[in-house]
Amino acid sequence: MENILTQAKRVAEEAEVFTVSSEETPVQFEANRLKHIQSKQSTSVALRIIRQGKIGYATTTELGDTQNLVNNAVETAQFGMTARFELPSLTAYPKVDIFDPDVESIPVEEMVKLGEELITTVRGHTSDIVCEAGVTKSLISVHIINSRGGQANYKESIFSLGIEGHLIRDTDMLFVGESQSSCHPLLEPKAVAEVVLQQLELAKNRASIPTKSVPVIFTPMGVACALIPPLMTAFNGKIVLEGASPIGSKLGQPVFDEKLWLWDDSTLAYRPESRPCDDEGIPSQRTPLIEKGTVANFLYDLQTAALAHTRSTGNGSRNRGGLPAPAPSAFIIAPGNTTFDEMVNDIKEGLVVEYLMGATQGNILGGDFSGNVLLGYKVESGKIVGRVKDTMVSGNVYQLLKQITAIGSDVKWVGSFLNTPSIYCPSLSVASK
């Protein structure tokens, strides 16, 4: 790495070398039985330079291929954007615990047992369900150095458990599933299976809902499918800078219901999205985005922050191996004090949305979403009566979150990216067959 930096400094004013290596061991079950064991090793090196004031960028998987890497970065710098930022010099980072040596030492045999227990528990409830399951351990190490003396180094362990069940009766198909991840080993498959069992119970009966507007509860998974993708875009500093975010000019203004609090946090202990610094070496932080319904901040990397005359929030992310760009680390929505059952009891006729298919395929920038309720339940007179099918819901995130009936006390991690309670809104438009 030092060698790449030295060579790059000969042809550029500034340079930064970012290396990530990972080792991943997925154990996979198909059709209720063990099918694959895999082992994946990967390394990649990214070089960012500032040459004649402009940004150049190249990546490679070959550590020995320094000359080609530097040449590619120089070639792209001819056309690159003018650099407005300074790379960070040596910085102190917050202590963020994301490595547990126990993950590495878990034997494959034990991972197989965890997967088997997941499947056995779900099939113990519904014997004719066909399950796929995955148990994965990963170790990641990240190393950043730059020409201003900045450097960062960290190791992370990730363990994940997931199951997807597929139940077919005649031509009726039901999908259920749950996955959890942590920097610690997850040794309680029953906790994951329990979520699936609850879905199976609620989906046992069928119900239908007419075409009209009804009150709706988005479960944590439902929040993740329908409401979060537009917010991720809207709080991205780059979209704000372009004038394409509907809340870009609303900093400090009440845009959402005052029950809503949202922040981005990359400092939570033992969470897979946490880290001491972002992909540019800027310290991690907790950034409030919505405080009491008011727009509090947007997310920035170095270049975008400089263009917007503000500071990086430590959200520089190298998605797909590209140049750093602002991206959320983990979104956290504050819990309210209404239980899920209280919300259901409050509804005369309405819908619980657990999984929405196709919701991210519309005008996300404008906050519109529309999707098929792949997993969702009808509520009648305060009770969940069964699963709805062939049903579409449509709405706009900004209209929905302006007036929230209640926020749940039932916070939960959805994947590794979102921690949220259920959200209960007064009206959503439904179209059904």
Partner 1 sequence: MNWRFYKLALSMTHIEAIGRQLALKGYSADYVEVRLEESQTSRITYRGRELESIGKTSAIGGNVRALVRGGWGFVSFNNLDKLPGTVELAVKQAQFVGNEESQLAPVEPVVDTVSSQEKNPVAMPLAEKKQLLDEYNDIIWHTPRLQTSIISYDDSHKKVIFLNSSGSYIEQERSGITLRLTAVATEGSEVQQVGLNLGSSGDFSQIKGLHHQIEQMAQRAVELLSAPQVKGGEYTVVLDPVLAGVFVHEAFGHLSEADFVYENDRLREIMVLGKKFGGAELNIVDTATIPGLRGSYKYDDEGVPATKTYLIWEGKLVGRLHSRETAAKMKEKPTGNARAINYRYPPIVRMTNTYIEPRAASFDDIISDIKEGVYAKNWYGGMTSMEMFTFSAGEACMIRNGKLAETLRPVVLTGNVFTTLNNIDAIGNDLEMNQGGGCGKGVQSPLPVANGSPHIRIHHCLVGGR
> Interacting stretch for partner 1, rule CB under 8 A, among 3-11, 143-151, 287-295, 393-401?
393-401
Write down the least CB distance from residue 259 to partner 1, Å.
Answer: 21
Q: Which of 340, 284, 233, 268 is nearest to 88 (CA)?
A: 284
Q: Is 398 in the site for partner 1 (CB under 8 A)?
A: yes
Is residue 356 within 8 Å of 375, Cβ to Cβ? no
> Interacting stretch for partner 1, rule CB under 8 A, among 11-19, 30-38, 183-191, 378-386?
30-38
Using CB under 8 A, pick the residue from 125, 143, 166, 402 that binds partner 1: 166
Residues 291-330 that bind partner 1 (CB under 8 A): 321-323, 325
Q: Is 362 in the site for partner 1 (CB under 8 A)?
A: yes
Residue 59 or 151: the one with the smaller Cβ distance to partner 1 is 59
- DSSP for 266-320 reads S--TT-TT--SB-TTSPBP-EEEEEETTEE---B--HHHHHHTTS---S-EE-GG
Strands 316-317, 406-407: pairing kind? unpaired
Write down the least CB distance from residue 406 to partner 1, Å.
Answer: 24
The residue count for binding partner 1 (CB under 8 A) is 81
> Interacting stretch for partner 1, rule CB under 8 A, among 3-11, 53-61, 117-125, 181-189?
53-61
Q: Is 35 in the site for partner 1 (CB under 8 A)?
A: yes
Residue 85 or 340: the one with the smaller Cβ distance to partner 1 is 85
Buried b (16+ CB within 10 A) or exposed e, 35-49: eeeeeeeeebbbbbb
Write down the least CB distance from residue 79 to partner 1, Å.
Answer: 5
Residues 218-237 that bind partner 1 (CB under 8 A): none
User: Distance between CA 115 and CA 189 in Å, rounded?
Assistant: 8
Using CB under 8 A, pick the residue from 162, 222, 371, 376 that binds partner 1: 371
> Interacting stretch for partner 1, rule CB under 8 A, among 84-92, 148-156, 192-200, 385-393?
385-393
- Give Cα 353 to chain centroid, integer Å: 19
Write down the least CB distance from residue 355 to partner 1, Å.
Answer: 9
With tokens 């209404």, the residue in question is 338
Q: Which of 265, 248, 328, 258 is nearest to 294 (CA)?
A: 258
Q: Is 247 in the site for partner 1 (CB under 8 A)?
A: yes
The dihedrals phi and psi of 162, each to the nearest 5 degrees, come to -150, 150
C-alpha gyration radius of the chain: 24
Please calculate the CA angle 354-356-362 and round it to the nearest 5 degrees: 150
Residue 195 or 364: the one with the smaller Cβ distance to partner 1 is 364
Is residue 162 within 8 Å of 178, Cβ to Cβ? yes
Q: What single-letter amino acid sits at 360?
A: T
Residues 410-429 that bind partner 1 (CB under 8 A): 429
Q: Which of 263, 274, 265 is nearest to 97 (CA)?
A: 274
Residues 179-208 that bind partner 1 (CB under 8 A): none
Strands 212-218, 423-432: pairing kind? antiparallel
- DSSP for 112-133 reads HHHHHHHHHHHHHH-TT-EEEE
Using CB under 8 A, pick the residue from 108, 191, 251, 269 that binds partner 1: 108
Q: Is 81 in the site for partner 1 (CB under 8 A)?
A: yes
Residue 77 or 262: the one with the smaller Cβ distance to partner 1 is 77
Write down the least CB distance from residue 366 to partner 1, Å.
Answer: 4
Write down the least CB distance from residue 240 to partner 1, Å.
Answer: 11
Write down the least CB distance from residue 315 to partner 1, Å.
Answer: 16
Q: Is 252 in the site for partner 1 (CB under 8 A)?
A: no
> Interacting stretch for partner 1, rule CB under 8 A, among 119-127, 152-160, 387-395, 406-414?
387-395
- Give Cα 322 to chain centroid, integer Å: 18
Write down the least CB distance from residue 60 to partner 1, Å.
Answer: 5
